[in-house]
């Protein structure tokens, strides 16, 4: 008893929508840290550096299952690189 094609498509849409929101929020976080000096505290610096990993993971989520068509292809390898970073 697996998921139907419609359910899988719905899950992919949800994953990509939430990853898009997260990418936008990460860019807002990065720009706030860079351009507003009062936000440059030690705690925010840790969040700033951790946000790069979040950005990589969300870009990999945006790629999603599109890379699985060719496991030796450049897109699949790039997605794997992003997830490992």
CB 62 within 8 A of CB 17: no
- Residues sharing a CB contact under 8 Å with residue 53, sequence separation 6 or more, in sequence order: 85
Give the model's pLDDT for residue 8. 87
Question: What pLDDT does 7 receive?
Answer: 92
Give the predicted TM-score (pTM) of the model: 0.84
Q: From first to last of its 85 residues, what are the pLDDT tens digits of the chain? A: 788 989 988 998 999 999 999 999 999 999 999 999 999 999 999 999 999 999 999 999 999 878 878 888 899 899 999 999 8
d(CA 75, CA 61): 12
């Amino acid at each position: 008893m697996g998921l139907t094609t419609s359910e899988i498509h719905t899950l992919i849409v949800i994953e990509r929508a939430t990853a898009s929101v997260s990418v936008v929020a990460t860019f807002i976080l990065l720009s706030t840290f860079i351009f507003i000096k009062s936000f440059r505290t030690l705690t925010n610096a840790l969040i700033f550096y951790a946000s790069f990993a979040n950005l990589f993971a969300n870009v990999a989520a945006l790629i999603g299952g599109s890379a699985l068509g060719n496991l030796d292809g450049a897109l699949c390898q790039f997605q794997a690189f992003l997830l490992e970073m």
